[in-house]
Structure 1
Amino acid sequence: MHDGAVDLKAEARARIYAQPIEMLDPAQPELFATDAMWPIFERLRAEDPVHWVEAPDYGGYWSITGWNDIMAVDSNHQTFSSADGITLQSLESKAETARRGARPSFISMDPPRHDEQRKTVSPVVAPSNLTVMAPVIRERAGQILDGLPIGEEFDWVEHVSKELTAMTLATLFDFPQEERRLLPHWSDMITNAPGHGPVESWEHKRREIDAMVARFTQMWNDRVNAPPAGDLISMLAHGESTRNMDKAEYAGNLGLLIIGGNDTTRNTISGSVYALNKNPGQYRRLREDPSLIPSMVSETIRWQTPLAHMARTATADCELGGKTIKAGDRVVMWYVSGNRDASMVEDPDSYLIERARPRQHMSFGFGIHRCVGNRLAELQLTIIWEEIMKRFPSIDLVAEPDRTHSIFVKGYESLPVMIPSRN
C-alpha cells in the first residue's frame, strides 16, 4: 500500500475516534471506496453495537455491527421484514423509486410468497446441476486463463472476474454467450448511483434497465410458449408461483438473480488475488499446498464480504442489545462488520487460509434469505484457483485497486495485475 493510502486511513481513523459516538454513520460510500470504513465498525462493535443514526443521505436507521445481534435479526423474519427492500436506499434513490415504481423480488418478500418463489429457481443450483456445470466452468476458466498476457499489466476484473461470472450467468439464464457482457453491465447499472460505474444519470439508469427488462420479457415470451427447460427464465415462466408475476415483480427478480449471480462471485474472485498479494505468506502456503484452495475460498468470502449489508424493517416494537427498536424502523445488518467480530472469529482482521472453521462467516446471510447460490459461488472460485495454480507461479498486484463506490456491493472496479511467467 502506498504512503498516501496509509495517511488517508490513519487520518480517517483519527477523525472517527474523535467524533461523538452518536454521530458515527457507516453509510458513506466514500469510506468504502477508500477502504477506510473499518474504524467505524471497530468502534461501534466495541461501544454501541445496536446504534441509531440520522444519516444525511439515508435517513434514520439502526446500525447492527456485532455477530450475535446480526444473527438475531437475520434469523427472525417475523419481526424483521424484507418487504420494504433489502438494501439501505439513499433518499435520492428512494425518490427515484417512487417516480418509477418499486420492483419487488423474492428476496424482498416474506413467507409464504418468498418460499414459493425461491423454491421455483433453486433447482438450477441444486447439487446435481452443479455437478453438470462444473466441467463447463472448468473448461471456460482454462480458456480465459490461457488467453491472458504474460509479462504485461492488465485488469483482472475486466479480463477474468467479469468474464467467468458472465459466462456462468449466461448459462443459468440460457442467454446468448456472445452477448454475455450485457449481464455484468446491467448488474452495474442496477447497483450504482449516477456518477459511478457506468451510470451517467437517473434517466440513463432507467433507460438501460428498461432495455434489460424488454430483452428478458422477450425471453419469457419465448420460454412460456416452449416446453419447460432447466434455465432460470423457463423456471420462472412455468413455475406455479411465478408464472403470473407482473412486469415489476419479474424485473425485480431479474435484478436479484443478475446481481446475486454476478457481483458476489466476481468481487470475491478479484478479492482473492488482492488478499493473497497483501498476505504473501498465505500465498506461499497455497502454492506449497493447493489442497488449501477450498479453505482459502471460504476465508476470502469472509474477508472480502462481497455484499456489505442487508436491511430489514421492524414489524413491531422489540428490544435488541438493550435498545428499543420501534415498529417501522429500518435496521441494517452490516455483514462486513460481523465478519470481523473477534468474539466469533479469532484474529478477524487477518487473512488466514488455514482457519479451523473457514466457512464460519456471514457473507451468505442466515435464515430464510440465505444466499441461494452460495455453493455455485464456492464452486466457481474453487475451480478458477485450481486452474490458476496449474498455470501460473504467481499473479502479482501492480497497484492498488479502484474500489466500488457503494455501501452495498463491496468490490473492485479494476485490479491491475501482471503475470510474470507460466509454470
Structure 2
Amino acid sequence: MSHDFDPLQLETFDSPHVEYARLRQGCPVAHSDTWGGFWALMKHADVAEAAADWRSFVTSKQNVVPKVAFTGRRPPLHLDPPEHTPYRRALAPLLTERRVERLRPVIRGICRELLGRMVSAGGGDVVADFSAHMPIATFAHWMNLDPQAVRELTEVGKRYNIAVQSNDVDATKESSLWLYDMARAIVADRRANPLPENEDATSALLAARVDGEPLPDEMIVGTIRQVLVVGIIAPSVMIGSIAAHLGRDQALQARLRSDPALVPAAIDEFLRLYTPYRGFARTALTDVTIRGRTIPAGEPIALVYASANRDEQVFEGADEFRLDRANMKDSVAFGRGPHQCVGAALARLELIVALEELLAAAPGFKLAGEPQPTRFPEIGALSTPISFVKPA
C-alpha cells in the first residue's frame, strides 16, 4: 500500500493547506500508513458524497482519525441512522437559531470579560486566554451547569485537547474518563433534579422514548460526553485561526471593525477558509473505487473537510478570503448528511459575537508571534499571540 502523505510531519499554520493542494492535484484519494493505515478524501465532491451516503459509508465503526474513542459509544456521532436519530431529535430543538439566540448577551458578556483582561495586559494568546475559555463558559450556560462543574470542565477540557493534539494516548484516555465521570454526574443530577426538557439537553435525553422505552443510560452518558467535547475544541481553534488571518490582514481587520454588519458574512467565509476539521472518519461497508483507487471494505477513511473547502473546482480563488462569494452554500464546514453538525447555529453565533468583541476591544491588534498549529484531527491555530494597539 502506498504512503502518500505523513499526517505527523512537522507543520506550520499554513503548511497543511499547501500539502492538501498538492494532494488534490495529484493524489485526491490518498493513503497513509500512520495509525495503522487510513485513507483520506481531499476533493469536495468525494467528501460531500461520502458524508451524505450513510448507507455505504458508516460512522459507527470509527468516527475520527486517529481513533481516540477508547471508552464506549457516544451518540449521535458514533451511530448511524436510524439508531442515531432519537439522540439528534432530543438535542435539535435546543440548538435552533431561535433558541440559541437567547445566549447572545451571555456570550457577549463572557467575551468582554475575557478580552478585558487581555486588553489590560496589552495582549496575550487569543486561544489560551480567550477562545479556550469562551466556548466552555457558553456551553455551561446552555447545559445549565453549576459553577463547580464549569471549573472542572474548563480544566479537563483543556487537558483532553492538549492530549489529543500531542497524540498522547495515555493522557487522552485519562482525560476522556474524567469527561465520562462528569457526564455521569450531570445525568445523575438531572434525574434527581429534572429541568423542563425544552430547556435542558440532559433532561430532554432522559425524557426521550423509542417505542415507548427510554434511551439506555450509558448511551445518554455517551451523548453528554460527546457534546461536552465537540462544543469546546472547534470554536477555540477557529477563533485562533480568524485572529491569525486578521493579524496578517490589517486592511480587512479595519474594514470589519468599521462595519460590524459584515461580520456574519465574514464568519461564513472564515469557516470555509479555516474549516477546523480534517479527520472525521467513515468506513466503507464494501470495497469502493474513487477516482481509480480502490479502498477496501473496513478501512478508515478521513473526510478532509478542510481540503474540500479549498477545492479550486468549487471555490474560485479558493485560498483567498472573499466576502462576496455566491456559492457559500457549497461549504462543508459543518459537514453534510445525517451527521451535519447539530450545533451549527450555536457555533456560528459564538464565532460572530467573539469576532465582534475582538474587533471592538481595541483600535487594532497585530500578531506578536507566529500562530502555532494544531495536529490531526483538527486543523488551525492552537496558539495565536497578539498585541493590542493602544487607544490614541
**Would you call these one fold, judging by a TM-score over 0.5?**
yes
Which residue number in structure 1 is paired with residue 333 of structure 2? 363
| Equivalent residue number for residue 36 of structure 1 | 15
Aligned CA distance change for structure 1 residues 167 and 146 (closer, same or farther; 3 Å): same
Residues 287 and 227 of structure 1: is their aligned pair in 2 closer, same or farther, counting only changes over 3 Å?
closer
Among 168, 173, 179, the residue aligned to 2:138: 168
Name the stretch that deviates more: 327-336 or 66-75.
327-336
**Is the counterpart of residue 227 in structure 1 residue 162 in structure 2?**
no
Partner of 1:257: 227
In 2, Cα distance between equivalents of 1:135 and 1:291: 17
How many Å separate the matches in 1 of 2:154 and 2:272?
23
Amino acid at match of 1:49: P
Q: Is residue 388 of structure 2 the alignment partner of residue 419 of structure 1?
A: yes
2:77 is paired with a residue whose SS is: helix
Q: Match of 1:293?
A: 263
Measure how far apart 1:25 and its partner are: 1.8
Secondary structure, aligned partner of 1:113: coil
The aligned residue for residue 240 of structure 2 is 270
Counterparts in 2 of 1:184 and 1:390: CA distance versus 1, 3 Å: same
1:186 and 2:156 equivalent?
yes
Q: Could you tell me the TM-score, scaled by structure 1's length? A: 0.83
Q: Cα distance, 1:410 vs. partner?
A: 1.9
In the alignment, structure 1 residue 373 sits paired with structure 2 residue 353: no
Given the alignment of the two structures, is residue 80 of structure 1 paired with residue 57 of structure 2, yes or no?
yes
1:376 CA displacement:
0.9
Deviation at 1:151, TM superposition (A): 6.3
Cα-to-partner distance string for 1:133-179 (whole Å, 9 max, x where unaligned) = 22222233233333333462322212221222111111122112355
| SS of aligned partner of 1:147 | helix
The alignment-based identity, stated in percent, is 24
Q: How far is 1:287 from its partner?
A: 2.9
Could you tell me which runs of 5 or more consecutive residues in structure 2 were left unpaired when the two chains were aligned: none
Q: CA deviation at 1:58?
A: 1.7
Structure 1 pair 144/225, CA: closer, same or farther in 2 (3 Å)? same
TM-aligned CA distance change 1:151 to 1:89, over 3 Å: closer
- Structure 1 residues 359 and 143, CA gap change in structure 2 (3 angstroms): farther
- Structure 1 residue aligned with 2:7: 27
Q: CA RMSD in A?
A: 2.6
Q: Secondary structure of the equivalent of 2:84?
A: helix
Aligned counterparts, 1:54-203, within 5 A: 54-55=32-33, 57-89=34-66, 97=70, 101-150=71-120, 152-177=122-147, 179-193=149-163, 196=166, 202=170
Contact kept in structure 2, 1:106 and 1:117, CA below 8 Å? yes
TM-score normalised by L of structure 2:
0.89
1:213-362 map, 5 Å: 213-229=180-196, 230-241=199-210, 243-247=214-218, 249-358=219-328, 360-362=330-332
Q: Amino acid of the residue matched to residue 136 of structure 1?
A: V
Indicate the SS of the match to 1:345: coil
One-letter code of the match for 1:37?
A: P
Deviations 1:213-250 (A, max 9, x none): 22331221121233343222222222225954243x34
**Equivalent residue pairs, number:** 388
SS at match of 1:265: helix
